[in-house]
């Protein structure tokens, strides 16, 4: 099963639209009515909805990932990327999306920089 994605609020809407255009199952924080929620709450939402979260917020989500692992909690995955031009984000994301299944992402952090 392909990765379903939850886009953190700092991800550009043009990237969201590009994913929709390519058939990626995704939801934005705006659509979920989760604007201005803490990163911890965003990850709880993503976990409840079984969606891998995509974010530019490296530091906070690495800490949350480690907290989850140390406490025995599970999450459906975290994709972290630097802020890059939309075309670069899309190219790298689609490589990841075609290569990994949702089960591969469980409790995993994936850095988009490795998908060049």
The structural domain count of the chain equals 1
| CA gap 8, 51 in Å, rounded | 11
**Residue 115 has what pLDDT?**
97
pLDDT band for position 108 (50/70/90)? very high
| Per-residue model confidence as pLDDT tens digits over 56-100 | 999 999 999 999 999 999 999 999 999 999 999 999 999 999 999
Question: What is the span of the domain harbouring residue 60?
Answer: 5-114
Q: What percent of the chain has pLDDT over 90?
A: 99
Rounded to the nearest integer, the mean pLDDT of the chain is 97
3 state SS of 7: strand
Residue 39: give its domain's CATH number.
3.40.50
- Residue 46 is classified by DSSP as H
């Amino acid at each position: 099963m392909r990765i379903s994605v939850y886009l953190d609020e700092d991800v550009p809407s043009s990237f969201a639209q590009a994913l929709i255009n390519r058939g990626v199952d995704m939801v934005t924080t705006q659509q979920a009515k989760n604007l201005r929620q803490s990163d911890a709450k965003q990850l709880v939402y993503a976990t409840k909805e079984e969606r891998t979260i995509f974010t530019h917020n490296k530091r906070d989500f690495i800490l949350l990932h480690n907290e989850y692992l140390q406490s025995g909690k599970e999450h459906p995955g975290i994709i972290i990327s630097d802020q890059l031009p939309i075309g670069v984000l899309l190219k790298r994301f689609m490589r990841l999306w075609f290569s990994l299944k949702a089960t591969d992402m469980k409790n995993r952090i994936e850095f988009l920089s490795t998908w060049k």
